[in-house]
Chain A
Amino acid sequence: MTALRISDLGMTFDGKAGRLVALDGITLDVEPGEFVSLIGPSGCGKSTLLRLIGDLLSPTAGAISVNAKSPRQARLDRDYGMVFQKATLLDWRTVADNIRLPLEVMGFSRTERNRRTKSNLELVQLDEFADLHPWQLSGGMQQRVAIARALAFEPSLLLMDEPFGALDEMTRERMQMELMRIWSRTGITVVFVTHSIPEAVFLSTRVVVMSPRPGRITDIVPIGLGQPREFATRKEERFFELITAVREKLRGIEQSGDQP
């Protein structure tokens, strides 16, 4: 079964400034266990697309199916784990209690909540910090808590909106390694929004290149790098070739956009 099927999707916003076509004719299939990145200049609708998949917005045209269900049904079935650019942890809850929050919402038993919280804290290597409050953690650690929170209820689809965008370069590379480790351990399907080309290439099985006004998919670049991705992957010639390939596609968009 296809994990995510998007067919001829369109999204139009009617605002005060007039009509804005955010997305047009988006068609994309994602198989279970894939890691797909959406990349493109700002205004290409990649975050909007992610919100449409997660049923935080409703499309004006076309259809999405998640595990052969409507996005709404998938959301009600708790198929989505979401991670945003900001960790959005609740200050009044400890690290462990933040991870527990979705488990409480979903009515897991107390013992099950504790078990999952503990194992996911271990997964993101923060077990020592369970009883701290979010403000006592660094930005990278906060984002790891957000990832643990998203994974705690074992969703089938992980939606990530520039989760490492606010982190410094060193932390960012460490987090990417961490995410690869988690992804290969859990086998979860990931849709990942980014504007960093090396990030998209390093993480993904496929990179979806998007163009703005209206948001369209212009290219899909398969990333034929070996698994698991390791520190050494970043030094491979193939890695640089793929970065160049994605960059060329993005340049193509910019140049065609320059023409009247």
Chain B
Amino acid sequence: MRRYLPAVFLFIGGLAAWELVVEIFDIQGFLLPKPSAILAVYWEEQSVVWRAGRVTLIEAVGGFGGGTVMGMLVAFGVAHFSPLRQGIMPFAVAVSSAPIIALAPIFNAWFGSTNPVSKMAVVAVMVFFPVLINMVRGLTSVDSASVELMTSVAASEWKTLRSVRFPNSLPFLFSALKVGSALSLIGAIVSEYFGGPRRALGVYISQQASFLKLTHAWAAILVGSILGLAFYLVISVAERLIMPWHPAFRRADR
């Protein structure tokens, strides 16, 4: 717990500074509301913003799951057939650095803007590429001696994949999933700015902002941040549970 203390102090200090700056320079509430004002609105609007948060979270998690499963499946294929790897990987790296969120209006046109599937599709594409790239790296960067060992006992490709390559790829997969968990909420909210289900977080934020009710928008952003953080934490905990052997989690005393 102790190592989180500096972060907690910094967070509280930051909020206090924000509050003070708005007070001292007399900044208009609709430009930058005080944290205390945001919290007050949040308290009032709690049930509305959390219901919106739930809609968006379902989109984010759905897209995240779909993108992860697709990314892993393609990675197994690509890692297995090296000609495929040489063809696909440069392309995948190029696409993953493109602004995929820009596809949101197109997916809205394809699947309908109020359909959650259009948001899931954006999120899935955003998550797919980091998962694919990292997973392929993890499956192929196996210690050559481990592979020789499996060869020497005439192990099947499948057994080598299951016992050596796949566990070896887990740390790579999880670093993609951690990036992906944050990306997926960004993807869902931003694509909702281009139209989405009536009660979604992104729709709420953009509507409130257009009425200049920025404090309400901030309250919804707060919910989005909490959800993003929670998603990231869930992935981190899963990482620890699934690979306690990883150097980052090792304890000398077993």
Seen from chain A, the residues whose Cβ lies within 8 Å of a Cβ on chain B are 54-56, 75-76, 78, 80, 82, 84, 86, 88, 90-92, 101-102, 104-106, 132-133, 135-136, 153, 159
CA distance A88 to B250 in the complex (A): 18
> Is B153 touching A105 in the complex (CB atoms < 8 A)?
yes
> Is A136 touching B252 in the complex (CB atoms < 8 A)?
yes
> Is B152 touching A75 in the complex (CB atoms < 8 A)?
yes
Give me 6 other A-B pairs in contact (C-beta within 8 A), A56-B152, A105-B150, A133-B254 excluded: A88-B145, A90-B146, A91-B246, A92-B167, A104-B163, A133-B250
A88's nearest neighbour on chain B, judged by CB, is: B145
Query: B152 touches which one: A82, A86, A90, A136 (CB < 8 A)?
Result: A82
Would you call B143 an interface residue if the criterion is a C-beta within 8 Å of the partner chain's C-beta atoms?
yes
Contacts A84-B145, A88-B149, A90-B167 given; does A78 touch B154 at CB 8 Å:
yes
CA distance A88 to B152 in the complex (A): 13
Most B CB contacts (10 A, CB to CB) among A92, A105, A136 go to: A92
Would you call B159 an interface residue if the criterion is a C-beta within 8 Å of the partner chain's C-beta atoms?
yes
> Is B151 touching A153 in the complex (CB atoms < 8 A)?
no
> Is B250 touching A82 in the complex (CB atoms < 8 A)?
no
Range, interface on chain B: 20 to 34
> Is A84 touching B154 in the complex (CB atoms < 8 A)?
no
Most A CB contacts (10 A, CB to CB) among B148, B154, B163 go to: B154
Binary A-proximity of B142-174 (CB < 8 A = 1, otherwise 0): 010110111111111001000110010010000
| A143, chain B: closest CB distance, angstroms | 13
Query: A153 touches which one: B143, B150, B153, B164 (CB < 8 A)?
Result: B153
Contacts A90-B163, A132-B254 given; does A102 touch B153 at CB 8 Å:
yes
B143's nearest neighbour on chain A, judged by CB, is: A88
B145's nearest neighbour on chain A, judged by CB, is: A88
A106: chain B residues within 8 A (beta carbon): 153
Most A CB contacts (10 A, CB to CB) among B143, B245, B247 go to: B245
- Can you offer 30 A-B residue contacts whose CB atoms are under 8 A? A55-B152, A56-B152, A75-B151, A75-B152, A75-B154, A78-B153, A80-B153, A82-B149, A82-B152, A84-B148, A88-B143, A88-B145, A88-B146, A90-B146, A90-B163, A90-B164, A90-B167, A91-B246, A92-B245, A102-B153, A102-B155, A104-B159, A105-B154, A105-B155, A105-B156, A105-B159, A133-B245, A133-B254, A136-B252, A153-B153
A133: chain B residues within 8 A (beta carbon): 245, 250, 254
